[in-house]
């Protein structure tokens, strides 16, 4: 029996996912969570095989799905984490994979694809939506132009209108480190300004 925890801040989504798995004899939803902290607590308490994790939770949440994934994967006898989200920017994908997610699916995936992905994750296999797999393969083919997860964080904060000092405070780094990240970002995107960097990143699907 595959034991799963469903983590999503929308009750109707959780209810729909639970109903989807109900007819499956080999899958049992043992807990649901509305926040990242609840997901981590449920993973620790219920010892599931797989945690189905959204990436973005409500404004009241202290952290996001990627951070919760990292915390869950650090547990003893850690369950696998399968991301199920609406977000498909490179920053979201890399953040989840680097946090330890075994799979990444979009919420418009067909039901049978989600069920198959849960079984694959429980078996220790990766489960990536085709569009996500393509993104990762493209990144591997062009490593020189790829952004690190930290560079993507900086880029997202630049897009949000943050100054270098704001970014440094948000990421707990120095202004000098932020400037270094920006220099690498400009080089990889072939631009010379913050505005151009944001525009180019959106063209390439690095930012949503």
**pLDDT class of 154 with cuts at 50, 70, 90:** very high
Predicted confidence at residue 140, as pLDDT, reads 59
Radius of gyration of the chain (CA): 18
Distance CA 69, CA 62 (A): 14
Please give the class, per CATH, of domain 143-203. Answer: mainly alpha
Contact present, 175 and 164 (Cβ < 8 Å): yes
pLDDT, tens digit, 9 for 90 and up, residues 117-129:
999 999 988 888 7
Does the structure show a pLDDT above 80 at 141? no
Residues of the chain above pLDDT 90, percent: 52
**pLDDT class of 144 with cuts at 50, 70, 90:** very low
Contact present, 127 and 116 (Cβ < 8 Å): yes
Distance CA 11, CA 189 (A): 40
CATH number for the domain running over 2-140? 3.40.50.2300
Find the mean pLDDT for residues 197-203: 87
Does the structure show a pLDDT above 90 at 188? no
Does the structure show a pLDDT above 70 at 145? no
Q: Where in the chain is the domain with CATH 1.10.10.10?
A: 143-203
pLDDT, tens digit, 9 for 90 and up, residues 4-29:
999 999 999 999 999 999 999 999 99
Contact present, 20 and 115 (Cβ < 8 Å): yes
Pick from 47, 41, 32, 90: nearest CA to 63: 41
- State the chain's mean pLDDT as an integer: 88
């Amino acid at each position: 029996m595959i034991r799963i925890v469903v983590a999503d801040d929308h009750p109707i989504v959780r209810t729909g996912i639970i109903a989807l798995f109900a007819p499956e004899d080999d899958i049992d939803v043992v807990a649901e969570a509305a926040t990242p902290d609840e997901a981590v607590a449920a993973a620790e308490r219920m010892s599931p095989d797989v945690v189905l994790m959204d990436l973005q939770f409500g404004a009241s949440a202290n952290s996001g799905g990627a951070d919760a994934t990292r915390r869950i994967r650090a547990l003893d006898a850690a369950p696998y984490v399968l991301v199920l989200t609406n977000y498909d920017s490179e920053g979201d994908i890399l953040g989840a994979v680097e946090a330890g997610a075994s799979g990444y699916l979009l919420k418009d995936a067909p039901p049978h694809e989600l069920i198959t992905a849960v079984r694959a994750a429980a078996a220790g296999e990766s489960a990536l939506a085709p569009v996500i797999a393509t993104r990762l393969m493209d990144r591997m083919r062009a490593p020189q132009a790829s952004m690190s997860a930290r560079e993507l964080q900086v880029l997202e904060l630049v897009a949000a209108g943050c100054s270098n000092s704001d970014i440094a405070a948000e990421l707990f780094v120095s202004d000098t480190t932020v400037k270094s990240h920006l220099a690498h970002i400009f080089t990889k995107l072939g631009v010379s300004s913050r505005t151009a960097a944001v525009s180019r990143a959106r063209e390439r699907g690095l930012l949503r």
